[in-house]
Structure formats: C-alpha cells, structure tokens
Chain A
Amino acid sequence: MAKARGFVEFNTEACKGCELCVKACPFDVLDMNHLVNGKGYHFSYMKNYDQCTGCASCAMVCPDVVITVYKVK
C-alpha cells in the first residue's frame, strides 16, 4: 500500500513555539523556524514537507490549535 500523503497549514501568528508538534510528528516533518512571528516566538513549519502523511498527530497535541491538516484519502 502506498504511504498516505498530506500537508499541514499553520496559523503562524497563533504559534507559541512550544515545539510539542515537532516532537509529536512520527515522520520528522516539522521543525522550528529560525524566524519569529509577531509575538516573538519561533514558529513551527514543514521542513520535510513531502514526508507528511496527514496523520494529524501534530494537530492533536497543539495547545493553541494552530494547525490545519489536509490528507489525500
């Protein structure tokens, strides 16, 4: 079976840089940006975007509901 594919989008201004999504992603897709958002937090972004499966693990643990998940079914 082919690996599921998906991608995520961030409400970057709402990110508080907690890194919990980076830790929760089973496929090492996410990382913290060296840039900061308007509040001064480093924000999460898709470093290895083509590895995303749309599993939503990152969105499950994000306390600030920053992440929207898309998946090819």
Chain B
Amino acid sequence: MSDIETYKKELLAQGAKKIFTKTKNLTDTPFSYCGGCGHGVVHRLIMEVVEELNITHDTIGIAPVGCTAIAYEFMNIDMQQAAHGRAPALATGIKRTMPDKYVFTYQGDGDLAAIGTGETIHACNRGENIAIFFVNNGIYGMTGGQMAPTTLPGMVSSTSPYGRNMDTHGYPLSLTELVAKLPGTYYVTRQSVHTPANVRKCKKAIQTAFENQKLNKGLSFVEIVSNCNSGWKMTPVESNKWMEENMFRSYPLGDIKLPQ
C-alpha cells in the first residue's frame, strides 16, 4: 500500500469523519462550465442551502439564457428555463400561482442587466417574494465575451477590442445599487466566491434570501461578482486576481440593503 493510503487508513482508525462532499441536490452530470468558472461554486451553494433548509421538494428554480441555460441538468430540483432576460417574469407567475414554493432565478449580467433590465426592475419594484441570484462576470460569457452593460471602463471584450469607451458605449450599469433604492426589495447584497471565506459568506447570503421568502416582505437580490476566465482570456487563477483588482472597484462587495 502506498504511504498516502496507509496515512488515510491511520486517520480513519483515529475517527476521521467525512465533513464535506458533493450535495445530493446536484446531479452526477458534470458541469458544462469552463474550468475555474465561478458558476459551479454558486450552483453548489444554492443546492446546499436548499438541502440544509430541507426545502428540496418545495423549491423551483428558473434558469436563464447564458452559460447556465442548462442549469436544470445540474440542479436536482424542479426547474424551468426562461427566454433570455425573462426569468423574473416567469418566477413572478410561478410564485403567484404557488405561493408556498420557494422560487429563485439564476441569471447572468447579460441576461439580467441587458435584455432583461425591464423584467428585473419591475419584479423588484413590485416586491415579488422571490430570490434573484445574479452572477456578474462583466461580459456575455456564452456567446464569446461580448461587451455587456456591466463591462468595466476600458475593459477589453470581443466587441470592445480597444476597451470600453464611455463616450460611445455608455457607463457600466449596476442594477444592484439601483434596485436597492426600490421599496419592493427587502434584501440586497453583493458577494463573491473566489476565496474560502467569501464562499462561506456568500452561502449565508443565499440562505438569508431563501429564509426571507417565508416573511413575504419583498424580493431578495444577491449579486455574485464572478470570473469568466475564457472570455477574459486568462487562467482561472489570473482571472480571480484580475477580478479582485478591477471588478471589486466598480462592484464593491458587501450588503447594500438589509431588512429594517
């Protein structure tokens, strides 16, 4: 037996216990995402929270259009896929017809902050009792890294090869700060999943968003600033560093609106 196998046996004999493994709320289908992409971590956290709150059979997720259009292949719960940007409208209908269910949307920045801006703002303004999980990687990942409303000033994308120029491309749009101003939102926060500590904090925020649904006090909005190493043309480790140095300046982490 190799040294490492002997070592594991030794620890097991000393009472080593399994303290972390993949949740049953994720299917065995491997994620279709690029190596190092934050989408996988966010999927896992949502599914762990649903398992820990014991609401697996009472939760309905809405998948967007984007890299996570087939999130229903990975999340082992009831899900429905929406047309591009329409997830908050679909979630509204589902929640209103089945108010006892926990309903969430999972959306990228192209989905939520570009084509779906109207649906997002109005669902927030109506104070729908749903959770929105918004993964912001600053570009359209799935279609090849095009500029999004969230793209940073000067940031190179496939459709802004000289960098985003505010004179012609406008300014980065932060829907998160915007919806926090609406009376219909109950909880608005910005998180990330690039370090173990941030992952743990983000999980708490996701849990709060689900718990809030019981209170019927409005919409919970959790932005997760994430990477798109393929679109940014960096290694995963480089992309997380770039995200810390650049994305967090425009999209600072922390709670934006806490329940009164």
A residues with CB within 8 A of B: 5-7, 11, 14, 16-20, 23-24, 41, 46, 49-50, 54-57, 59-65, 67-73
Contact = CB atoms under 8 A, between A and B. Distances in A.
Nearest to A57: B196
A39 to B, nearest CB: 9
A64 B8 contact: no
A18 B15 contact: no
B20 A73 contact: no
A70 B237 contact: no
Given A62-B40, A63-B41, 18 more contacts: A5-B11, A14-B30, A18-B237, A19-B237, A23-B237, A49-B4, A50-B7, A54-B19, A60-B41, A61-B41, A61-B199, A62-B41, A63-B33, A65-B26, A70-B16, A71-B19, A72-B11, A72-B16
B40 A64 contact: yes
Contact of B17 (A14, A16, A70): A70
B147 to A, nearest CB: 24
Given A19-B236, A70-B11, A56 B196 contact: yes
Main secondary structure of the interface of B (DSSP, over half): mixed
A59 B7 contact: no
A63 B16 contact: no
A35 to B, nearest CB: 15
Interface string B7-23: 11001101111111110
A27 B244 CA distance: 22
B54 interface: no
B35 A60 contact: no
Nearest to B14: A72
Given A19-B236, A70-B16, A70-B17, A65 B36 contact: no
A58 B167 CA distance: 43
B39 A56 contact: no
B31 interface: yes
B34 to A, nearest CB: 8
Contacts of B35: 16-18, 41, 63-64
Interface residues of B, number: 38
Contacts of A68: 18, 20-22
B31 A20 contact: no
Given A6-B16, A68-B18, A70-B19, A63 B30 contact: no
B40 A65 contact: yes
A21 to B, nearest CB: 10
B89 to A, nearest CB: 29
Contacts of B21: 68-69
Contacts of A71: 16-17, 19
A19 B196 contact: no
Contact of A64 (B18, B30, B193): B30
A6 B36 contact: no
B20 A20 contact: no
Contact of B15 (A19, A62, A69, A73): A73
